[in-house]
Amino acid sequence: MADASMYIKSRDSETIASYFCLTCKNKNTVTEAKEYCKICDSCFCDQCINLHSQLFQNHTTYGPKEMEKWPVAMATQEFLENCGVHKGKKLTLFCEDHSKLCCDTCILLSHRQCSKLTLIADTILSATEHQQLSAKMNTILGQLMKLQTNWESNLKSLQFSYEEMLKEIRSKRERINASLDELEKATLMEMDEVKASLNASLKFDVDTCSRLCTELTRLSGSIQEIGKKDKDLAFIAHQKSEEMIKQADKYQNNNSMQTEVSLKFIIYNDIEEYLSNLSGLGHTIYITKELNKQGSPDQAIIVTGATPVSVRIPSDTRATCSIYICGMFNGQILVTDCNNNRLKLLDLQLKVVSDCDMSGTPYIMCLITPCQVAVAVNKHIQFVSVNSGQLVKGRRLQLQHNCYGVAHHQGDLYVTSGQALCKYTLTGTLVNKMYKDKSTTSTGNGHEHYCPDKY
C-alpha cells in the first residue's frame, strides 16, 4: 500500500479519493499525486515523477487514466477496516451467527459464545454477489435521491404556504383596528412555532436521505475501486454495504407513505364580536397531501417486537395505567396515566421528561397541532402544549356532557358523550350533533367515533 500517500477529501458534499505525493509529504508539503509506481509502491506529483523517471528508468508508472492499477487508497482502507463500535480497532473476523463484522474487542465482549467465526482473510466473495450488491445499491440510491427530492420540494411547499398564510393574515389585519396588535403577535408566534417544528422535521428527513446517499455512494465507489485488488477489503465493503442497505431499506419502509405538509390558517369568523375573549387571530394547523408512495401500497404492517417501558415517576401515588398514547411530530410521545390523573411526555429514549396534572381522569387525546393536544377529561376538553420540552396547560372547553372520545379534523373537534357524537369548533361552540343513540345508555364502548381523516 502506498504508505500514507492517499487521503479522502470532500468537495460539494461529494466524497472522492485522492492521493498525496509521498516525496512531498516527507517534506511536509501537500501535493496531489499524478503518477503511481508499483515497484516503489509510491505516488508522485508532476515534479517528483520526473526525478523518479531519471533515477529509475526501468520502472513503469501509471497515470490517472490507469487508476485500476493504483492501490486502494489508505483512507478507503481505513474507512472499511475500522470497527464502527470500537475506535482504533480493525475488523478481522466475520460472525456468521449474527452476520456481523467484528474486531477483537467485539469478539471478546459480544461474540465469545458464537460458533461460526471466520477470518476475513478466509472469506470469498463471488462475482455474482458483487454484481447483485452493486445493482441493489444503485437501485436504492435512485430511490433515496427521489425521496430526498420530494422532501426538498416539501420544504419549498411549506415555505410557499407559509408566505401565502402571511398574506392572508395581513389582509385580515388591515380590516380591523389597532387593538389587534397583541393578538397578531400571538398568532404569528404560534404560526412560526408550527412552521419551525415542521421545517425541522422535514430538514431532518432531507439530511437523512443525503447522509444515506453519501454513505452508499462512498461504499459504491470503494467497491468499484477495490475490484479484485483486495478480497479482504472487498468482503468488508460488501458487508458494510449490506448493513447500509438495511438502514436505507428500513428508512424507506418507515417513509413508504410520503405526505406533503403545508400550513393552513383557520380564521375566527366571529372575531369582531368575541375579540376580547380570543387568544389570537386564528389557529395554525397543517394539512397533508399524499404523494407517490414508496413501495407497495398494500404492504401489511407487521409487529416485529415490543419493548416494556416504565412511565412511573416518584410523585405518582398509584400504579401507572397508560391507556392512550399520542405521537408528536418530533418523535416524542404523550401518554395518559389514568390512575394518577396525569399526562406524561416521553423523549426519544422513552424516558418521562415532563408531566402535567389533570383535574380528572384523562380518557383520550388527539393532536391539534404538532405541539398541542386536546385531552378529554370528564365534562371538558383540556388543551395541553409542548413548549421547550415541557407540558403546559392551556385553555379549557367546558361542555354539557361527559367526554369519552375526541378527534380533530380541519379545525373542528368531534367529541363522543357515550350516546352522541357532537361537532364543536375549537372555541367550544356546538356546531351540531352528528349522531345520537337513544336505544342504550352507551354507544359502543364510548371511545369509538367518526372522523373523516387524521386531522
Summarised one tens digit per residue, pLDDT across range 177-221 is: 676 677 778 888 888 998 998 899 889 888 989 998 998 899 888
pLDDT digits (tens, 9 = 90+) for 289-348: 766 555 555 667 777 777 788 888 999 888 888 778 888 766 789 999 988 999 999 988
Nearest to 430 by CA among 415, 443, 441: 415
Instruction: Collect the ranges in the chain with pLDDT lower than 70.
Output: 1-18, 127, 130-131, 134-135, 138, 176-177, 179-180, 268-272, 275, 278, 290-299, 329-330, 437-455
In this prediction, residue 16 carries a pLDDT of 36
Integer angstrom CA distances of residue 204 from 142, 210, 255, 284, 345: 19, 10, 13, 22, 21
pTM for the model stands at 0.37
Cell 401500497 belongs to residue: 297
The helix (run of H) or strand (run of E) holding residue 101 is strand 100-102
DSSP assignment, residue 32? B
pLDDT digits (tens, 9 = 90+) for 226-247: 887 888 888 888 898 888 889 8
Judging by DSSP bridges, how do beta strands 259-267 and 282-290 pair with one another?
antiparallel
Identify any residues that bridge with 384 across adjacent strands, giving them in sequence order.
373, 393
Q: Which fold has domain 325-436?
A: Neuraminidase (2.120.10)
Phi/psi at 371 (nearest 5 deg)?
A: -125, 20
In this prediction, residue 329 carries a pLDDT of 67
Identify any residues that bridge with 325 across adjacent strands, giving them in sequence order.
335
The helix (run of H) or strand (run of E) holding residue 137 is helix 127-174
